Amino acid sequence: MRTQTRGFDRPKLGLAALVAAALSFPGVARAEGPGVLRQLDSALSQLAERVSPAVVHILVSGYGPAGTDDGRTDTALIARQHAVGSGVIVDPSGYIVTNAHVVQGALRIVVVLPATSSAQARRHAMKKGVFEARVIGTHQESDLAVLKIDAQGLPALPLRDTTPVKQGELVFAVGSPQGLASSMTMGIVSAAARETGLDAPMLFVQTDAPINPGNSGGPLVNADGEVVGINTFILTRSGGSQGLGFAIPAPVARFVYEGLRKNGRVQRVELGISAQGIAPSLAAGLGLSRDWGVVISDVVPDSPAEEAGLRRGDIIEAVDGRPIDSTASLLASLYRHAENRPVQVEVLRASDRLKRQVRAVEVGHPIDEVADLASPDKHLVRRLGVLAVAVDDKIQQAANLRAGGGVIVAARTLDGIGVDSGLVQGDVIHAINRTAIDSVEALRLALESRKAGDPVVLQIERSGRFRYLYFEME
């Protein structure tokens, strides 16, 4: 049986602690204690009033592994699923940052504005405060996604990217834990740059502010109402908060947001190496000169790294002048680097310190090559509002598609003529209403034969999975 704690029991303990803390401050007389608490109470209320209107409730529907009676998942059974998460409005025109895992596999995304949001923005929604959202882009390495809703004049919060967050700084987690929208919890920064694993690709802000399922994608804000992190996961044995919450640092969130909004992806250069964190046992076994940092474990043949003379066993000291002490800092340096100049790499080889200039190559994106092939004159499918290219053997291999044939969506157009089909860049259309599609012309003809109000079902392949998109012709 589930055990519940009465809501009025725990605040009494917190209040007593606050009273003791307030009265213990140097220079504060005991008689002034209640006044200090009232000031604190007022400050927290003002903060909530400023922050909460920009934090949204996200409802996602899709398909995933079905659950069993004992709490496990059965990957052989696929069931309709509904999930909840949180997000933060970072631009008044309707751009929202959340976690990539919140919207992964989504068929439909609904954003619900809090009751305190702008009345002007809410009047534009079909239902009060409810908006259909579309995905602008996702970035799996950082677990971030950018959504867009059709609204203007929304309250927004800035992503702080200047002063680094500090250990001990007072922070607040805002979101929808267990679906309870606009919930706010308080804590401190337990660690400003926590590495959760030796080869973890990112450093996180660790906090003891209570975070629970449903908080994912919501903001971690400071006392000034600035976003210092995007809440992403917790470490727990019970499934609930145990004071070990982790947030993606705001500078990372801002960098990813700007890349996704501008290009639909985040650019990063590649050197042609594999690197991993150094543990004492690894250093001892390989005879490395130190037992911390990052070591090159592989150099790809004919890569820029091999051309520059990097070798397996080299310890990476710095990239572009920035010290490298973890795989996360190495990855961050490669994201910061501009493609049009060499990467300055300093390595430690035995007792020698070497400097190498490595040719920068942007990490390849197969869809970019497809987009380069598309032209509005030849590949526009006006009734869907997309540019589409027929899939050949080269495209199938480059995009790692499961099935041959069909046409791939190279880009979406913004002329407003196409229906809201749900197609995104990279989708492959294999059939319309069971009729196979093998060329752009076949796609156009199949659409032209349908009049307004006719049902249309597209069989598509997206991220290695088949699904149906359905709508009525306009």
Question: Which residues are marked as active site?
Answer: 101, 143, 216
Reference 421, options 370, 472, 367; nearest CA is 472
Tokens 């290695």 sit at which residue?
464
Cβ neighbours of residue 444 closer than 8 Å, sequence gap 6 or more: 381, 383
Separation CA 429–CA 389 (nearest Å): 10
Instruction: Say which DSSP state 147 is in.
Output: E
Separation CA 6–CA 130 (nearest Å): 32
Reference 126, options 145, 113, 140, 137; nearest CA is 113
Strands 219-222 and 227-234 come out as antiparallel
Using an 8 Å Cβ cutoff, are 106 and 236 in contact?
no
Separation CA 202–CA 472 (nearest Å): 43
| 98, β-bridge pairs | 145
- Is the C-alpha dihedral spanning 311, 312, 316, 321 positive or negative? positive
Provide φ and ψ at 328, rounded to 5°: -65, -45
